[in-house]
Amino acid sequence: MQKIKTYCWFIGFVMIIWLPIPVRAQTNDKPDTLALFVSGTDGYKSYRIPAIITTTKGTLLAFCEGRKNNAADAGDIDLLLKRSTDGGRTWSAQQVIWDDSTNTCGNPCPVVDETTGAICLLMTHNLGDDKEKEIIKKISRSTRTVWISRSNDDGITWSAPEDLTATTKKKEWGWYATGPGIGIQIKHGPHKGRLVIPCDYSFDDSTTVPKQGHPNMGSHSIHSDDHGATWQLGGTITPKMNECQVIEVADGNGTLLMNMRSYFQRFCRAHALSYDGGITWTGPYDVPTLVEPVCQASIIRYAWPTKKTKSCMLFLNPASAKRLNMTIRASYDEGQTWPVIRTLFAGPSAYSSMAILPDGTINCLYEAGRKHPYETILFQKLKAKELFKR
């Protein structure tokens, strides 16, 4: 594989001075909403694939892809970051985490190790002139590879990307995506402390891509039991599954639930379960309540059940047969039902991610625009009492 070229600041650790600067809302006329990444600004034609996490210090890290020349999933794409240390009121200047010339550096999927405070950023890479369909059909010059960068100082600096492909991707697989979105750390059960990253892959060995979606696509997970030092391949979920997010079920056993983009053309999400920390998964099953237009979505735990609080999961996606109507839902029964629903953005919208601050504030990062979903990546804050009130 072509040797990865990185900027000079990747010698050792990237040292970047971070200065908070205000970012003003530009598209949504809501006081709690900021246009954090705007297409056509700062040297990028478009911004895609948002991911947001809260560090152990309460800092918000907002990642995305900066696409230089077009909106396609391959080409000259850089991986970017903005930080906020004041709950999303102000944000740092745009930071380049990975720029490999005209090649594709993308699919950010960060996870926080709450034991060490370190942040692991899982990513993918391919040659810029290798297109997704060519990689799926295995007629590209190279293939899609899996990488990691780490930060031990709250996201200020990042290590040079390290290739994880040998332990996280089967040789017969073609396309591969980490996330997009976030990973989790298991809090209960025999695999407590394990870092889990949701992923997807193609295993189509033919030379054609089916017209109706990708029947030979699957979801899977990768994991680390040594605080992100090494990573292993977990189980797969097929058929017709794709971009996914993972959440831990509040059963005390560390059971995992995978929420997935489905190509069964039934316009709803699919779920699968793992009872062994992601080593194996059940087959997928439809979740008709979670309407989707065949798109990425995000799911996160808001609260664990205690004597004072009840269990709560949050789900965010464009709840429609088309990519519009960005909607957040809440479940109090581990994803069985979703009685709370609120539209955040009624217009064109697509990919999303969520993070919770220590004070309980819900932070949403999602693609949205007036004419099409990829005009901006919006950051929106929600107060829990406003979402959960009946």
Q: What is the mean pLDDT of residues 113-136?
A: 96
**What's the pLDDT score for residue 4?**
42
Contact 65, 196 (CB under 8 A): no
Q: What is the greatest pairwise CA distance in the chain? A: 57
**Band of pLDDT at residue 214, cut at 50, 70 and 90:** low
Query: Which residues sit opposite 199 in a β-bridge?
Result: 178, 220
Q: Which helix (H) or strand (E) holds 23?
A: none
Measured distance CA(343)–CA(348) in Å, rounded: 12
Higher pLDDT, 211 or 230: 230
Assess whether pLDDT exceeds 90 at residue 62.
yes
Q: Is the pLDDT of residue 194 over 60?
A: yes
How far is residue 386's CA from residue 100's CA, in Å, rounded to a whole number?
43
Catalytic residues: 73, 351, 367
Question: Which residues is 122 bridged to in the sheet?
Answer: 109, 148
Nearest CA to 178 out of 210, 146, 205, 208 is that of: 146
Distance CA 144, CA 273 (A): 27
In this predicted structure, what is the pLDDT of residue 74? 86
Flag the least confident range among 4-13, 102-111, 136-145, 333-342.
4-13
Residue 158 CA to residue 12 CA, distance in Å, equals 9
Question: What are the chain's domains?
Answer: 100-343+370-375 (2.120.10.10)
H-helix or E-strand spanning residue 137: helix 132-137
Identity at 282, one-letter amino acid code: T
* Entry pTM: 0.90
At residue 385, the pLDDT reads 84
Q: How many CB atoms lie within 10 A of CB 196?
A: 24
Average pLDDT score over residue span 372-388: 93
Closest CA to 303 of 362, 244, 254, 255: 362
pLDDT of residue 30: 60
For residue 132, give the 3-state DSSP assignment. helix
Contacts of 349 (CB under 8 A, 6+ apart): 318, 323, 324, 325, 326, 366, 367, 368, 369, 373
pLDDT at 24: 36
